[in-house]
């Protein structure tokens, strides 16, 4: 059985393929090519073909940094991981491409559930575990194929009560694509990042990503105001294929009795159901058994309270192309330790 790996030039062909997948996140959409173009990077879509039919592949982006230039496959590649020949064909092709383009390494970050067999396959084909994640590797996913009553009943009691209190006492959630709202979210994000000492996405990247997806009605900002009119929290949600994703957010917690972010999540869930989506991806949580000092420990309790299941993904793996990779490995290892991961 021979597989051919070639660039996909027809965006519709790629999007039609993604629609056949249970999990195909926005980071693999052709729209993400536009996001990376706006940030000055390059992108390609490589398809795996069998008898001229597209059966796998990945969006691939360039990342240029002082520590080394590399190719990133954000939640890719999308493959049949039970098929070693398909996996081997793709790994060989992307390695050859990276060498020709003079990149230092390739970083794979597939959205596929971790197993010993898949982990062994990555190792077998000369992929080594990355020193640090790029995207969430432990996620929390809510199945939306239930009634609103069922979803509420499966939440933690405290979450239900806080949602109802916010509704009862006049918290307002506004859904918008307004640029001024992005600016307010970025300002709040600065405050929260400083308070909790975490590394945030750049303001420009958030603006560029949102603008690309909002043009296609695949993105909304949910902004919460307290009864006195003060903006308290905000979240950017991306809607793509069969999944809504909790992408960026910030909450100032101005009124401890009215934690507005709880009501935002409930409004997002209702919007996702209205759009006919199957899943709501709350994004990153702490891995099972993580210490109390883990950066995601607090947010994990918040996200899990809405109901859902944990999905533990195959960790990032790298294909080493040049010796400069090892310099990058040292830098990222230090960063991971400093950030508490």
Asked if residue 156 and residue 290 are part of one domain, the reply reads yes
Q: What average pLDDT does the segment 47-54 reach?
A: 96
pLDDT of residue 190: 86
Asked if residue 200 and residue 333 are part of one domain, the reply reads no
List CB contacts of 36: < 8 A, sequence separation 6 or more. Answer: 42, 43, 61, 62
Between β-strands 309-312 and 138-143, what pairing exists: parallel, antiparallel or unpaired?
Answer: antiparallel
Find where tokens 């940030």 sit. Answer: 39
Asked if residue 159 and residue 93 are part of one domain, the reply reads no
Q: What average pLDDT does the segment 21-30 reach?
A: 93
Confidence of residue 197 (pLDDT cuts 50, 70, 90): low
List CB contacts of 58: < 8 A, sequence separation 6 or more. Answer: 28, 45, 46, 73, 76, 77, 78, 90, 94
pLDDT of residue 196: 64
Confidence of residue 115 (pLDDT cuts 50, 70, 90): very high
Instruction: Detail the DSSP E strand segments found in the chain.
Output: 4-7, 43-50, 53-63, 70-74, 105-109, 128-129, 138-143, 172-176, 219-225, 231-240, 243-251, 279-284, 309-312, 317-320
> Over the stretch 130-172, which tens digit does the pLDDT of each residue have?
999 999 999 999 999 999 999 999 999 999 999 999 999 999 9
210: domain range? 139-312
Asked if residue 46 and residue 121 are part of one domain, the reply reads yes
- Selected residue with higher pLDDT from 336 and 57: 57
Q: How are the residues of the chain apportioned to helix, strand and coil, as percentages rounded to the nearest 5?
A: 40, 25, 35
> Over the stretch 34-49, which tens digit does the pLDDT of each residue have?
999 999 999 999 999 9
Number of domains in the chain: 2
Asked if residue 228 and residue 321 are part of one domain, the reply reads no
State what percent of residues in the chain have pLDDT above 90: 83
Asked if residue 261 and residue 318 are part of one domain, the reply reads no
Asked if residue 187 and residue 92 are part of one domain, the reply reads no
Give the Å distances, CA to CA, from 261 to 73, 179, 222, 235, 314: 31, 20, 10, 8, 30
Asked if residue 191 and residue 66 are part of one domain, the reply reads no
Specify the DSSP class assigned to residue 21. S
Asked if residue 156 and residue 305 are part of one domain, the reply reads yes
Structure tokens belonging to residue 7: 């660039």
Find where tokens 């980071």 sit. Answer: 27
Task: Tell which residue, 174, 240, 264, 247, has the closest CA to residue 206.
Answer: 247
Asked if residue 191 and residue 113 are part of one domain, the reply reads no
What's the CATH code of the domain at 90? 3.40.630.30
Instruction: Detail the DSSP E strand segments found in 180-278.
Output: 219-225, 231-240, 243-251
Find where tokens 């909002």 sit. Answer: 214
Asked if residue 123 and residue 12 are part of one domain, the reply reads yes
Specify the DSSP class assigned to residue 132. S
Query: What is the DSSP track for 320-334?
Result: E-STHHHHHHHHHHH
Q: What is the CA 122 to chain-centroid distance, rounded? A: 21
Asked if residue 76 and residue 19 are part of one domain, the reply reads yes
Q: For the chain, what is the mean pLDDT?
A: 93
Confidence of residue 333 (pLDDT cuts 50, 70, 90): very high
Task: Tell which residue, 146, 181, 137, 182, has the closest CA to residue 269.
Answer: 146
Contact (Cβ atoms closer than 8 angstroms) between residue 321 and residue 100:
no
């Amino acid at each position: 059985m021979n597989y051919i790996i070639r660039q996909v030039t027809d965006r519709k062909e790629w999007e039609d393929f993604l629609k056949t997948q249970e999990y195909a996140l926005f980071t693999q959409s052709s729209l993400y090519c536009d996001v990376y173009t706006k940030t000055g990077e390059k992108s390609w879509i490589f398809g795996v073909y069998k008898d001229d039919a597209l059966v796998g592949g990945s969006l691939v982006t360039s990342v240029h940094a002082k520590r080394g230039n590399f190719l990133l496959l954000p939640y890719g590649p999308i493959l049949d991981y039970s098929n070693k020949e398909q996996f081997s064909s793709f790994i060989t092709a992307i390695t050859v491409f990276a060498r020709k383009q003079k990149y230092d390494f390739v970083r794979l970050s597939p959205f596929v559930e971790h197993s010993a067999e898949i982990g062994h396959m990555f190792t077998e084909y000369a992929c080594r575990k990355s020193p640090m994640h790029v995207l969430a590797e432990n996620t929390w996913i809510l199945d939306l194929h239930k009634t609103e009553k069922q979803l509420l009943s499966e939440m933690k009691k405290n979450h239900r009560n806080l949602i109802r209190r916010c509704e009862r006492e006049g918290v307002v959630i506004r859904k918008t694509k307004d640029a001024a709202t992005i600016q307010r979210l970025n300002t709040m994000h600065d405050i929260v990042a400083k308070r909790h000492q975490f590394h945030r996405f750049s303001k420009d990247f958030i603006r560029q990503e949102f603008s690309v997806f909002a043009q296609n009605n695949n993105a909304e900002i949910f902004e919460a105001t307290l009864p006195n009119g003060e903006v308290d929290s905000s979240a950017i949600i991306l809607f793509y294929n069969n999944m809504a994703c909790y992408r960026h957010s910030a909450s100032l917690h101005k009124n401890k009795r009215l934690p507005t972010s709880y009501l935002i999540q409930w409004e997002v869930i209702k919007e996702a159901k209205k759009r006919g989506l199957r899943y709501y991806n709350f994004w990153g949580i702490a891995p099972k058994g993580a210490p109390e000092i883990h950066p995601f420990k607090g947010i994990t309790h918040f996200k899990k309270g809405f109901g859902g299941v944990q999905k533990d993904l195959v960790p990032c793996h790298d294909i080493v192309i040049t010796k400069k990779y090892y310099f990058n490995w040292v830098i990222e290892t230090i960063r991971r330790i400093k950030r508490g991961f």
